[in-house]
Structure 1
Amino acid sequence: MTTTKEAARPTAAPTEATGERLLDGATHVRVETPDIDGNLRGKLVLASKLAEGALPMFPEAYLAFRVDDELVEHGVGSAETGFGDMVVAPDWSTARRLPGREHVVAVLCDGLRKDGTPHPAHPRSALRRVERDCAEAGFESCFGVEFEFWAFRLDERADAALASGDVAGLTPLSRLPQGYSLLRWPDCGDFVDDLTATMSAYGVPIETVLTEIGDGMLEAALAPGTALEAADRAARFKLGAREVAARHGLLLSFIAKLRPSDQGSSGHLHQSLLRDGRNAFWDGAPERLSETGRHYLAGLLHATHECGAMMAPFPNSYRRFDPAQWAPCEAAWGFDNRNACVRAITTGAGGTRFEQRRPGADLQPYLAIAACLAGGLHGIRERLEPPPEADKLGRGEEARTLDRELVDAAATLRASRFARETFGDELVELYAATREAEAEAWTRLRDGQIPPWEIKRYLEVV
């Protein structure tokens, strides 16, 4: 895996080195910044205003929005705060012309307090802090995100199906549930061509695209970069891919589990560390790990348990976990073992890495990557040792069982000393509160209706 330098610090006005030329001829800038779920939110701002050094402002409360924009009344979402503003400071190294809208420049932003210090509850700022810790430890991070997602046709049946939540009413992009298929390529080729070209122009290079096991399911592996670059690419991919899909009359979904009988959509995180430009995990031969690699692995498994809510942030996320479908339930590891939670890939000095297989495609990319990196660094600092390698079914004798419901994962996060030392009390409390609120909303919706199968089974016979 290759890597690049740490992302530039946010600044007010762009310089020639950080995007000034991109603003030539641009009328507007789309400022983009992640919410608590990791999705990008933003607004259009006059380019001339930002060129003069003005900093956009967002209400702090946006960090406490649920997926339906209901406000979680906790921390920045509390009425006692007065719902004041925070600064969203552009990181001009991320500036890109929007493909097809050349008069608009998109730029990712960090969250700051009004005094210019990093906002303690902002996901991108949290990851930047962990990346700084990595650099101070003498390492350079390298992460690559791999997404599986569903593609459906927006035909005459789609509106009714979406309104009712009836998945059976959606028409998949392809009828064949064949992975690594070339037979399915005529169905998706035009979309994929547009996707790869558009994402590259948007700053999200895609290394590989393939069909997955599921009718209408695709996988895209994003090119690796530093931890911050990888999270930025993941967030931009989910936004940009949906825009491309709409041009082709398609709907994309990154839901973790769509149907009980089908495998879920993963969001695997490939990761390694470099020291002086060399892979710090490689130990000279396959199926071996360096001392640094062993310690990082032990810390990564620890973070998987402590920060699981960041890797599986919604109640639906937990429907995906099924060892029979390569979605692990234990914090176990193994060499080239897809049944394990962490797959150790030791193919050579350039490619040795860990594949974190716990996250789904609905992961919070900034916080999940931050948790993985911080966990690995914790393992290196404390010289932790991993448990024995799991068997080929992914079962480890000393492996910890991972939480099976979001409310439990939120409680684990809130009680975690590691999470609080990594992210700070304010972010941990806010994130746990938003997960608990989402779990409560899900339970209320579930219990507020009787499913059709239950009515059908009992209506006429009891």
Structure 2
Amino acid sequence: MNSDRKHFNFNDLEQWLDRHRVTEIECLVPDLTGVARGKILPRQKFTEDRGMRLPEAVVAMGVTGEFPSEGPYYDVISPTDHDMHLRPDPRTVRIVPWASDPTAQVVHDCYDKAGNIVPFAPRSVLRRVCELFEAEGWNPIVAPELEFYLVARNTDPDMPLKPPIGRSGRAETSRQAYSIDAVNEFDPLFEDVYSYCEQMELNVDTLIHEIGAGQMEINFFHDHPLGLADEVFFFKRTVREAAMRHNMFATFMAKPIAGEPGSAMHIHQSIVDAQGRNIFSNADGSASDMFRWYIGGLQKYIPAAMALFAPYVNSYRRLARFTAAPINIQWGTDNRTVGIRSPVASPAARRIENRVIGADANPYVALAATLACGYLGMKNRVEPTPECKGDAYLGDYQLPRSLGEALEKLRAERDLASVLGESFITVYTEVKEIEYAEFMKVISPWEREHLLLHV
């Protein structure tokens, strides 16, 4: 989060809106999928009300827009569809650079009528986890690396996605990892992306071309988890908007194109104490017990958290052997075949990279879940397995292979529920069951090709 924003209050917000001559406000709430929900208000009404109301189910529905019709979901969500009372977080205010009139966007937190935070809203879950760290005197620091694909415009869901046409007039057909020229194929688009990010004060760092055809990666500067989740949320909106203005789509699907690598959201994470010292390193520069236990927590709880890291049926297509995505919970130093990597770094910068998370994960949920795993590891002093120093792809699968299996593991893991909140786990798993049931109604081309005349 921009240092000028960290202590923004409502007076600062009003002055910011005046300075930018804002006439409209997009009042945003991230839902379970990370989609922006909310309302657009005139500046005067926003200033008078400083908030709005939405039905609580708005943040508790699936990617199809469906809700469960019965069951434990309604032990959390009122069947009478209560209102949430939304409060803007002044620190999140950003300009909407593509709007024709001066427009701002502000992320809101969700409260009930008694003033209690709504525990199943994704931003609330991340707040809850950050507060647990704060109670221990720990300050988590994270840095996401977010992969995505640029694809040709596609309005027919029955047609496979294809790489877009660049400045050369040709689509990519070969591997172009880290190619500068391949990125330059889309210079006009990325000029807009960087311009939008600058206007929105998003702290994006490096842009690279990844392995897949039309696959890119953007890195974010390290910061506090809540501010960075907001930035990833804003960035996804931004790059989608910019791509459409250049006659293409940007997608954060985990596996959008058959035969191409999937897209991840690798999250680097470390913890500093009240004096700003990295607790993953001892005074002599060696790795600390906390470092070891944090890894142990990731190893123990990642399998149960996979429905949060890989939230859709498509997510599990990415997690395959020898596809640049992990299939394991091994850990290793400077080893990209493991699910939990420790990059080479100075003692002050010692950190852990969770490589399991998909680009399709809700950034609030993903950050909350990976921090929860590490928190439980440190609190319970969970010892990791020995470091993997070889090719971890040669080992067994250690992660769920489907959304159904992942949901079973998440429901059964009570430690994660205690950290993330029982109501959130209930709402999340019930909604995901609805999505999974919807997917099972669809007959795929593979089934028609191989089963139609052969079984």
Q: What is the TM-score when the length of structure 1 is the normalising length?
A: 0.89
Q: Which amino acid aligns with 1:135?
A: E
**1:342 maps onto 2:326 in alignment:** no
Give yes or no for contact 2:24–2:40 (8 Å, CA) kept in 1.
yes
Q: How many angstroms apart in 2 are the aligned matches of 1:77 and 1:437?
A: 16
Matched letter for residue 421 of structure 2: G
Q: Are the structure 2 counterparts of residues 145 and 237 from structure 1 closer, same or farther at C-alpha, using a change threshold of 3 Å? A: same
Aligned counterpart in structure 2 of residue 41 of structure 1, from 37, 44, 67: 37
SS at match of 1:446: coil
Cα 1:137–1:261 shift into 2, 3 Å: same
- Residues 17-32 of structure 1: matches in 2 within 5 Å? 17=12, 19-24=13-18, 25-32=21-28
The amino acid that maps onto 1:446 is I
2:10 to 15, 21, 43: 15
Q: Does 1:444 align with 2:444?
A: no
Equivalent of residue 415 in structure 1, options 405, 412, 415 = 412
Alpha-carbon shift at residue 355 of structure 1 (Å): 0.9
Q: 1:120 and 1:181 mapped to 2: Cα distance?
A: 44
Distance 1:7 1:381, change over 3 A: farther
Q: Is the 8 A contact 1:196 1:205 kept in 2?
A: no
- Structure with higher RCO (Cα < 8 A, 6+ apart): 2
Distance 2:5 2:409 in 1: 31
SS class of match (1:184): helix
- Change beyond 3 A, Cα 1:418–1:133: same
Q: Work out whether residues 327 and 393 of structure 2, in 8 Å CA contact, stay in contact via their aligned partners in 1.
A: no
Task: Give the C-alpha shift of residue 113 in structure 1.
Answer: 1.0
Rounded to whole Å, the distance in 2 between the matches of 1:183 and 1:380 is: 44
Residue pair 2:372, 2:420 contacting (<8 A) in 1 also: no
Could you tell which deviates more after superposition, 76-85 or 327-336? 76-85
Tell me if the contact between 1:94 and 1:203 (Cα under 8 Å) persists in the aligned partners.
no
How is 1:249-264 mapped onto 2 (pairs within 5 angstroms)?
249-264=247-262
Which runs of 5 or more residues in structure 2 are unaligned? none
Partner of residue 161, structure 2: 167
Does residue 51 of the first structure (1) align with residue 47 of the second (2)? yes
- 212 and 283 in structure 1: CA distance in 2 versus 1, 3 angstrom threshold: same
Structure 1 residue 425, shift from structure 2 partner: 1.6
Going from structure 1 to structure 2, the CA distance change for 1:360 and 1:247 (only over 3 Å counts) comes to same
Q: Which amino acid aligns with 2:36?
A: L
Mapping of 1:357-436 within 5 angstroms? Answer: 357-394=355-392, 401-436=398-433
Q: Could you say which residue in structure 2 is the equivalent of 1:282?
A: 281
- 2:85 maps to what in 1? 87
- Cα 1:8–1:87 shift into 2, 3 Å: farther
Runs ≥4 residues deviating over 4 A: 2-9, 76-80, 283-286, 449-452
Q: Residues 234 and 261 of structure 1: is their aligned pair in 2 closer, same or farther, counting only changes over 3 Å?
A: same
CA distance change for structure 1 residues 77 and 182 in 2, over 3 Å: closer, same or farther?
A: farther
Q: What is the TM-score of this pair, normalised by structure 2?
A: 0.90
Query: In the alignment, what sits opposite 1:103?
Result: 102
Asked whether the 8 Å contact 2:226–2:364 carries over to 1, the reply is yes
Report the counterpart of residue 208 of structure 1 in structure 2.
Answer: 206
Matches of 1:54 and 1:394, distance apart in 2: 52
- CA distance, structure 2, for counterparts of residue 166 and residue 55 of structure 1: 42
Deviations 1:340-379, CA, capped at 9 Å, x for gaps: 0010124113432111000111012111111111221222
Separation in 1, partners of 2:77, 2:110: 20
The 1-side partners of 2:298 and 2:188 are apart by 39
1:327-346 Cα shifts (integer Å, max 9, x gaps): 12221111111000010124
Decide whether the 8 Å contact of 2:326 with 2:393 is kept in 1.
Answer: no
One-letter identity of the residue aligned with 1:49: K
Change in 2 beyond 3 A, CA 1:282/1:443? same
Cα 1:6–1:54 change in 2 (3 A) is: closer
Select the residue among 244, 251, 259 that pairs with 1:246: 244
Query: Which digits, 9 at most, give the CA deviation of each residue in 1:10-41, with x for residues without a partner?
Result: xxxx6233x12122122111111111112222
Q: Which residue identity lines up with residue 296 of structure 1 in the other structure?
A: Y
The DSSP-based 3-state class of the residue aligned with 1:268 is strand
Counterpart of 1:164 in 2: which secondary structure? coil
- Secondary structure in structure 1 of the residue aligned to 2:81: coil
Give aligned-pair identity as a percent: 29
- Gap change, CA 1:416 and 1:40, over 3 Å in 2: same
Q: In the aligned structure 1, how far is the partner of 2:56 from the partner of 2:217?
A: 34
Shift in Å at residue 99 of structure 1?
A: 1.4
The aligned counterpart of 1:148 is: 147
Structure 1 contact 318–404 (Cα < 8 Å) conserved: yes
- The question of whether the paired residues in 2 share the 8 Å contact of 1:22 and 1:105 is answered with no
Could you tell me how far apart the structure 2 residues matched to 1:70 and 1:186 are? 40
Give the conservation status (yes or no) of the 8 Å contact 1:153–1:171.
yes
2:177 equivalent in structure 1: 179
- Alignment match, 1:114: 113
Which residue of 286, 305, 319 corresponds with 1:307? 305
State the Cα RMSD in Å.
Answer: 2.7
1:235 and 2:233 matched: yes
Q: CA deviation at 1:450?
A: 7.0
CA distance in 1, matches of 2:165, 2:371: 36
Closer, same or farther: CA 245–315 of 1 in aligned 2, 3 Å: same
- Structure 1: gaps (5+ residues): none
Instruction: Determine if contact 1:64/1:76 at 8 Å carries over to the other structure.
Output: no
Equivalent residue letter for 2:333? F
State the distance in 2 between where 1:400 and 1:280 align: 31
Q: Is the 8 A contact 1:307 1:409 kept in 2?
A: yes
C-alpha distance in structure 2 between counterparts of 1:419 and 1:80, whole Å: 24
Three-state SS of the structure 1 residue aligned to 2:441 is: helix
Q: Distance in 1 between matches of 2:431 and 2:417?
A: 16
Contact 1:231 1:366 in 2 (8 A): yes
